[in-house]
Structure 1
């Protein structure tokens, strides 16, 4: 069963409380999303570590309930 965008946002927010999050349903099927996550806590971290923080916040749902997630992360300007 696909995950709702609101559930993805809530999970990311619980793991990265300072994040500004935008979730986009890429295919309109509730199964392929893009997450744009901006957080001050990402400042100075390489993209790989930023993405790992997002995946950790999702708690192992990638590849299970959440089929595909394109990530754009960074620190706010």
Structure 2
């Protein structure tokens, strides 16, 4: 499993305005995911949406995924 594999798995099932997945060892990854779909949801619900997009990969292929999730508004505020 590569960082790009994870990225592609997420964007197929979750509309993202920005996504970056890092990780070179094949099992430990770090991600930043920005989606309008996160609007009105707490962090736990946002992370659950990402985990659901990854499906069984979280059980078998990915040992750890540390992530930061943002709404589009939060992301735009961070960039200013």
TM superposition score category, shorter chain reference: 0.7 to 0.9
Unaligned runs of 5+ in 2: none
The Cα of 1:24 is off from its aligned counterpart by 1.2
Name 1:20's counterpart in structure 2. Answer: 18
Contact 1:13 1:19 in 2 (8 A): no
The 4+ residue runs of structure 1 with deviation greater than 3 A are none
TM-score by length of 1: 0.86
Unaligned runs of 5+ in 1: none
- Equivalent residues, number: 73
Q: Judging changes above 3 Å, is the alpha-carbon distance between structure 1 residues 44 and 12 closer, same or farther for their aligned structure 2 residues?
A: same
For residues 49-64 of structure 1, what are the structure 2 equivalents within 5 Å? 49-64=45-60
Q: Deviations over 1:2-49 (max 9, x none)?
A: x11111001110111234110111xx3121100110111111110011
